[in-house]
Amino acid sequence: MAIGKFVVLNPDRWVTGVGKTAADSTQARFGHLNRIVDYINEHVEEKMLRTISLGSGATAELYRETDPVLLTIPETSFLVGATNYLVPVSNNCAWSVTVDFTAVCNTAGGSVALGDSFLGKYTVLFKRVSGNASIVGINGAVTVSDNSMSDAQVLFTAGASQDFRITFKAPSTASGTGFKLRADVYFTELTF
C-alpha cells in the first residue's frame, strides 16, 4: 500500500491556540518529507489482496488496498491513485515487475482441503507506449503447490485502463472453494 503525501491543512490547527510560538506561525514545508515518501513508495511493494469463493477454473482479479486513514488509494510517483488497478502515471514507460503470489484455501470445497496452498514467483516485463499497455513477457521462475492446487494459475494482462492486472485462476479440483489471495508487487520503472 502506498503512503500519501504530506499536505498543509488550512487552517493549520497548530498555528492557533494554547502554546503557540513564532515558529508555529510559519507555514509547514513538507518537500523533504515528501521526498522520503516518494522513496518509500518506490522501494516498498504494492500489496494486492482478495478473498473469494471460486469453482473449477474460475478467475478473480486482485486489487490494490485502500488506505485505512485516507479511505482512498494514494498516488505514488509512478502509480495513478484512486483506482484498484496498477495504472502507470507515465504514458511512456517500461516496468520490470516482480510478483510474489500466494493463494491458500480458507474454505474447503471440491477436493481442495483447508490450508492447501499455491506459491508463485514471477518476473514480468510490462510496457506502456503512447498510453497503450502490453505485456512483453513473463518468466515464472518458481511455482510450488499442494497436489490439489497444481493446475492453479496466475495470469498477467494489460487491462482496459492500460494497466497491469493480476488474476488468479482456480484449480480444476475447486468447487465452491474459498481462497485468500495475496500478491506482493515490486516495480522498477524506466520512462522514455
Query: Which is more confidently placed, 128 or 11?
Result: 128
pLDDT number for residue 85: 94
pLDDT for 144-163, tens place per residue? 999 999 999 999 999 999 99
One-letter-per-residue 3-state SS of the chain:
CCCCCCCCCCCCHHHCCCCCCCHHHCCCCCHHHHHHHHHHHHHCCEEEEEEEEECCCCEEECEECCCCCCCCCCCCCCECCCCCCECECCCCEEEEEEEEEEEEEEECECCECCCCEEEEEEEEEEEEECCEEEEEEEEEEEEEECHHHCCCEEEEEECCCCCEEEEEECCCCCCCEEEEEEEEEEEEEEEC
pTM over 0.85: no
pLDDT in tens, 89-144: 999 999 999 999 999 999 999 999 999 999 999 999 999 999 999 999 999 779 99
